[in-house]
Amino acid sequence: MSSIASNRAPASPDNINLAIVGGALLRKFPALLLIAGLAGAGTAAVLSTMAPKYLSQVQLEIRGNGNNDLAGRPDKEAVGTHVRGLMSTELALKMAQSLNLTKRADFNSALEPEDLYGRLWRTIGIGGAKTGETDEDRLMQAYFKSVRAYQVRDTRSVIVDCTTSNAKFSADCANTLAELYRDSLRGRTVTENTDVRAKLEPQVARLTREVADAEALATEFRGKANLFQGGAQATLLKEQQLGELTAELTRAATARSDAEARATAAREMSARGIAAANPDVQKSTLIPRMEEQRITLERQISELSATLLRGHPRMKQLSSELSGLQAQIRAEVQKVVESLGNDARIAADREKGVRLRLDEMKRTVVSSAPDTAKLAQLENQAKAKRSELDRLQRQYETAASSAGAAVSSVEVEIVSRAYASNEKVFPKIGSMAALAAFAAFILSLAIVLTRELVHSARPLEGRAPTPVKIATDATPTIAVPLAAAAVRAPIRPAKRHTEDVAAEIAMLAQSTRGFRVLMATSVDNSDAASDALALARALSVGKRRVVLVGWAGCGDTLAHAASIDARIGTVQLLAGESSLEATAIRLAGSTLDLIPAGEGVAVAIDGDGAGMVLDTLDEIYDIIIVYAQTSIATDLFVAIQGRFDAGLVMSENADAVHENGEGRPFLGFEVPDFPVLVLTRPFASDTSREPKTLPRRRPAQAGLAI
């Protein structure tokens, strides 16, 4: 058989000792405060060596060419264009020349830094001018770091920021940039209007002539090619005729199909002798009158046949008249049928004629396709020249309307000028030092907390227990976990064979969860309870979860042996007066749970209630040891129909019982495939009952909340 499972237990939040963690944090709290204070002080000291930075802002508003109407207002793209113009290199060079920026350390890294922090870095060779850089290169790099322009969201406002080490110079820098940009726009507008007018005037005259020539050429070609247009859509006449013939062909085909269907139906009805029922026959004005005469003659013949014979002259006369009338009816019906056939032939001829005309028109349209394509090309050229002429005329008129103005309106207006601010934007010594102190405190706290959780909060998790050897007179040494040796109550030395029984139970239960052992003792005293506790502690070594249950009616010997005051136990649990969480007790310094018998008188054992309790324990624990006197154990064994995995008998000596194993009687019953173990005790055990046969049944376990 394989050995008992490893002693290493997985970490579980339920095993964290919060008291140990809290105590460690209280002890380390002064050190954490000291670390946070040092971090904050160091940050403040470093920031105090840096030169302060001051920010000034100018607010600009973008207008629409001096107009207040909606059509003249600029869109987002127009405002973005002004933002890019403010950050142009040309404007930056003008501003650098106006304010002599290359003579200031903020915009020229070749000069000596103004603060101690920069000078210290310059001493160790960091932050100085790079080899091969010109003053203009260093100026542009520093300029675009210090000066910034951006659009205010969902507005036509633009903000210009300037950040330097001097508050007044920051304001001068921002105001100068705004003025330079306005001046550039003012001069650019007047110059552009004059240049545009002079440039567009000859182009407009040339395009006017070209448009007239192109339109005349298109009209002339249309007449030569007979490609005239008509209708509201200005469609070619040939195309209109083609469409009309197509529609007429559809109507002719429909009429021909209808006439043929009527003629065919009339011929079929005539062949079957029911032509008179045809709708077209019934539309005749003559046939209905003839049918009335036929009916009259047939009635007269029918009336006279009652008194006259067929050979009577009157009967012969009437029969002759009826035959002649029927022949006239058939002749008239035949005329109607032939008339329908003629209509079908006429409709077919008409369709054929329309189809011939349509084919001829198609050939005409196809033959004129090159002329149509050339006409479309001429018209497109004329339209393109006309569109270009209209565009140039609008530009010319716009330039002409503003050319006479003395000063053109500028699109950018300064709403708010920059002023010197005494508030630093960097460094914020107080807030940054406090933030550094807080970060250091949180980091140190996390380190301490992690260390305590790993090394101190789980003293019994993650490492094998150290065995303590406890010897008795003439008994072998037994290895008991250190956690079990630390129980508050004095621990009685284990008796003989305790470690052997524990090892055999562990091997039997290594592949089974919820392994049940019924431990029966004939004498319930403190010695037997101590042995039961020693066996349970030996099994709880490592990661196995073990519970020792004192069954109702066995007294409080287990609670006394463990030195605990337990008034609630299985008596209250079975009666429904307590929950499993309130009943189970974790013994101090160990991983063993104990459920005492509890105070009170036990009632008769209910198999369903006992089975529910044991099934619930199966879901929680790996090994369940039920400790009871022999009589109580027998009743329990019978009540739940032997649903235990092994039996344990305390005996006076090993010779009084058979060797441990399967097939031997247990509590007077013979249970197939049921291992029975023996733990020798210095008192007699009651095993004198006659063997009985009890079937072994262990249904599938199911969880139950109690």
Nearest Cα neighbor of 634 from 683, 682, 578, 691 is 691
Residue (of 251, 282, 449) closest to 358 by Cα position: 251
3-state SS, residue 537: helix
The confidence score (pLDDT) of residue 493 equals 36
The pLDDT value given to residue 441: 93
Residue 161 included in any domain: no
pLDDT at 464 over 60: no
pLDDT band at 663 (very low <50, low <70, confident <90, very high): low
Report whether pLDDT(691) > 70: no
Under the banding of pLDDT at 50, 70 and 90, the label for residue 33 is very high
Q: Is the pLDDT of residue 185 over 70?
A: yes
Residues 290 and 324 in one domain: yes
Q: Give the rounded percent of residues in the chain with a pLDDT score beyond 90.
A: 7
Assess whether 323 and 446 both reside in one domain: no
Are 482 and 362 in a shared domain? no
Domain of residue 590, CATH code = 3.40.50.300
Please give the average per-residue pLDDT across 306-326, as a whole number: 81
pLDDT score recorded for residue 73: 62
Does a structural domain hold residue 635?
Answer: yes
Q: What is the mean pLDDT of the chain?
A: 75
Is there a single domain that holds both residue 629 and residue 537?
yes
pLDDT surpasses 80 at 582: yes
> Which range scores top for mean pLDDT: 62-66, 79-83, 103-107, 276-280?
79-83
Task: Name the more confident of 197 and 145.
Answer: 145
Pick from 319, 342, 367: which residue ends a domain?
367
Buried b (16+ CB within 10 A) or exposed e, 472-489: eeeeeebebbebbbebee
548 domain-assigned: yes
Please check whether residues 297 and 255 belong to one and the same domain: yes
Dump pLDDT digits (tens) for 298-307. Answer: 888 888 888 8
pLDDT for residue 232: 54
Give the pLDDT confidence score for residue 70 in this predicted structure: 46
669 lies in the same domain as 577? yes
75 within some domain? no
Mean pLDDT confidence for 496-525 = 82
- Give the C-alpha separation, 666 to 674, whole Å: 9
Q: Which segment of 106-115, 245-254, 643-652 scores lowest on mean pLDDT? A: 106-115
CA distances from residue 443 to 272, 440, 449 in whole angstroms, order as listed: 110, 5, 10
pLDDT at residue 652 is higher than 80: no
> Do 511 and 642 fall within a single domain?
yes
Q: Tell me the average pLDDT across 51-69.
A: 76
Is residue 469 pLDDT above 60, yes or no?
no
**What is the distance between the alpha carbons of residues 440 and 434, in angstroms, rounded to a whole number?**
10
Domain boundary among 347, 367, 387: 367
Query: According to the model, what pLDDT value does residue 275 have?
Result: 66
pLDDT of amino acid 497: 67
Q: Is residue 356 part of a domain?
A: yes
pLDDT for 524: 67
Domain assignment present for residue 577? The answer is yes
In the numeric block, the tokens 């403040």 are attached to: 44
Q: Are 443 and 518 found together in one domain?
A: no
pLDDT over threshold 50, residue 71: no
Confidence of residue 203 (pLDDT cuts 50, 70, 90): confident
Q: What is the mean pLDDT of residues 382-390?
A: 85
State which residues form the domain around 350.
235-367
The reply to whether 277 falls in a domain is yes
Count the alpha carbons within 13 Å of 392 in the hemisphere toward its beta carbon: 18
Model confidence at 381: pLDDT above 50? yes
**494 shares its domain with 603:** yes
> Angle CA(335)–CA(337)–CA(340) in degrees, nearest 5?
110
Shared-domain flag, residues 347 and 437: no
Write down the pLDDT at residue 72: 52
Same domain (yes/no): 587, 662 = yes
Q: What is the 3 state secondary structure string of 186-218? A: HHHHHHHHHHHHHHHHHHHHHHHHHHHHHHHHH
pLDDT at 406 over 70: no
Say if residue 271's pLDDT is above 80: no
Query: Is position 224 within any domain?
Result: no
Whether residues 445 and 552 fall in one domain = no
User: What phi and psi, each to the nearest 5 degrees, are found at residue 578?
Assistant: -150, 160
Q: What is the pTM of this model?
A: 0.37
Residue 248's pLDDT is what? 83
Q: Which of 345, 367, 389 is the last residue of a domain?
A: 367
From 112, 100, 7, 16, select the one nearest 454 (Cα to Cα). 16
Q: Are residues 360 and 368 in contact, defined by beta-carbon separation less than 8 angstroms?
A: no
Exposure string over 500-514, b if 16+ CB within 10 A, otherwise e: ebbebbbebbeeeeb
Q: Look at residue 214 and tell me whether its pLDDT is greater than 60.
A: yes
Which residue do the tokens 């209250």 mark?
Answer: 572
Quick one: DSSP state of residue 106?
Answer: T
Closest CA to 590 of 550, 653, 649, 534: 534
- Mean predicted confidence (pLDDT) in 552-579: 81
Q: Reply yes or no: is the peptide bond before residue 427 cis, omega within 30 of 0.
A: yes
Do 440 and 35 meet the contact criterion of CB atoms below 8 Å apart?
A: yes
Which of 114-128, 288-302, 496-510, 584-598 has the highest mean predicted lDDT (pLDDT)? 584-598
> For 602-622, how does the pLDDT look when each residue is reduced to its tens digit (9 = 90+)?
667 888 888 888 888 988 898
Ramachandran region, residue 679 (left: φ > 0; alpha: ψ -120 to 50; beta: rest): beta
The secondary element (H helix, E strand) that includes residue 490 is none
* pLDDT (0 to 100) of residue 689: 39
Between 368 and 467, whose confidence is greater?
A: 368
Q: What is the largest CA-CA distance in the chain?
A: 160
Number of domains in the chain: 3
Of the given ranges (108-122, 386-400, 405-419, 455-469), which has the lowest mean pLDDT?
455-469
Query: For 305-422, where are the alpha helices, taking DSSP H only?
Result: 313-367, 369-403
pLDDT at 418 exceeding the cut of 60: yes
